[in-house]
């Protein structure tokens, strides 16, 4: 995902109050320090408000014109009868405009629906590989990575996981690195790692498939998400019930 796209998504999450307190503080700090980021936020707000207001104004104007042109349908027409073609044009104009406003509303609503479902179902996977690491010990690279993961220092965890993966592509390291990427809103990287886990057909297939479906949901690749969820729903893993529930909500 491009940096600007990530920034826009984070701004939208901020405006829709979908961030944790820590994430919100980080965004506000960046808005106060980064002029380009602030300008991007202001452009986004202006665009969203402009689309919504333009739709409302245009619809109101067209409906007023339509009412003026058609008059009160209970009254007898006075003077020269209006052109049937003119009335039809006004009718179709109003229908068209309602459609435009509906599409805009659908666009923003669909985005919110994807995010709502993702937020409802995403929960970072617990560290069951090295869960009892202590910071005062002499630690291996893996222990350092999982300690950072447990401490919710996901940027540090990703750095360490990547160093491990450069030496050996371990299935569980790929999986937990994907988890950290998801928390950091780096879903393209998470998808790549989870796809690699699935290709290996090891012990984490069901888990990888579930989180891959959530990644596709977040990136609005609905059909890909459904494809993964259907496989889970038809299986007998611990994710079958949740996959079926999520499919019903999509």
The answer as to whether 13 is a domain residue is yes
pLDDT for 175 equals 98
Q: Are residues 16 and 58 in the same domain?
A: yes
Distance CA 204, CA 239 (A): 12
pLDDT of residue 82: 46
DSSP structure class, residue 81? P
Number of domains forming the structure of the chain = 2
CA distance between the termini of the chain? 24
pLDDT for position 135: 66
Q: Is the pTM of this model over 0.85?
A: no
- Do 52 and 115 sit in the same domain of this protein? no
The answer to the question of residue 79 being in a domain is no
Question: Please, which residues have CB within 8 angstroms of residue 32's CB and are 6 or more apart in sequence?
Answer: 38
- Same structural domain, 168 and 49: no
Tell me if 181 is assigned to some domain.
yes
Whole-angstrom distance, CA of residue 11 vs CA of residue 20: 13
Res 84: pLDDT: 47
User: Of the candidates 249, 215, 250, which has an alpha carbon nearest to the alpha carbon of residue 1?
Assistant: 215
Per-residue pLDDT of the chain (250 residues; tens, 9 = 90+): 467 778 888 888 888 888 888 899 999 999 999 988 898 888 778 776 665 565 555 555 555 554 555 455 444 444 444 444 445 545 545 554 455 445 444 444 455 588 889 999 999 999 999 887 776 668 999 999 999 999 999 999 999 999 999 999 999 999 999 999 999 999 999 999 999 999 999 999 999 999 999 999 999 999 999 999 999 999 989 999 999 999 999 8
Range of the domain at 22: 3-67
Task: Based on the fold, state whether residues 62 and 95 are members of the same structural domain.
Answer: no
| pLDDT of 4 | 74
24, 39, 67 - which closes a domain: 67
Whether 59 and 101 map to the same domain: the answer is no
Beta carbons within 8 Å of 42's beta carbon, 6+ residues apart:
none
Same domain, 122 and 239: yes
Q: Are residues 153 and 218 in the same domain?
A: yes
- Considering the domain architecture, whether residues 116 and 47 belong to the same structural domain is answered as no
Domain with residue 155: its CATH number is: 1.25.40.10
pLDDT, residue 180, reads 98
Co-location of 94 and 57 in the same domain = no
**One domain for residues 116 and 212:** yes
pLDDT at 164: 97
3-state class percentages of the chain: helix first, strand second, coil last, to nearest 5: 75, 0, 25
Given this model, what pLDDT does residue 66 score?
A: 47
Q: What is the pLDDT of residue 142?
A: 95
The residue from 15, 42, 67 where one domain ends is 67
The confidence score (pLDDT) of residue 115 equals 86
**Do 198 and 162 share a structural domain?**
yes
Same structural domain, 208 and 128: yes
């Amino acid at each position: 995902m491009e940096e600007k796209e990530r920034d826009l998504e984070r701004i939208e999450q901020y405006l829709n109050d979908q961030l944790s307190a820590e994430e919100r503080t980080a965004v506000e700090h960046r808005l106060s320090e980064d002029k380009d980021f602030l300008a991007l936020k202001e452009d986004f707000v202006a665009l969203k408000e402009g689309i919504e207001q333009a739709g409302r104004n245009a619809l109101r104007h067209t409906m007023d014109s339509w009412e003026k042109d058609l008059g009160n349908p209970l009254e007898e027409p006075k003077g020269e009868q209006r052109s049937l073609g003119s009335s039809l044009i006004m009718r179709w104009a109003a229908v068209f405009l309602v459609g435009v406003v509906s599409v805009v509303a659908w666009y923003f609503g669909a985005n919110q629906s994807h995010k709502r479902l993702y937020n409802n179902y995403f929960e970072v996977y617990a560290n069951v590989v090295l869960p009892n690491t202590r910071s005062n010990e002499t630690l291996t690279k893996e222990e350092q990575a999982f300690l950072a993961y447990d401490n919710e220092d996901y940027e540090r965890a990703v750095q360490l996981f990547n160093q491990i993966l450069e030496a050996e592509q371990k299935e569980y390291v790929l999986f937990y690195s994907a988890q950290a990427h998801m928390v950091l809103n780096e879903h393209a990287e998470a998808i790549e790692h989870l796809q690699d886990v699935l290709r290996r057909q090891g012990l984490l297939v069901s888990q990888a498939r579930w989180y891959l479906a959530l990644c596709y949901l977040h990136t609005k690749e609905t059909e890909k998400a459904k494809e993964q969820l259907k496989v889970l729903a038809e299986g007998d893993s611990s994710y079958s019930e949740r996959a079926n529930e999520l499919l019903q909500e999509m």
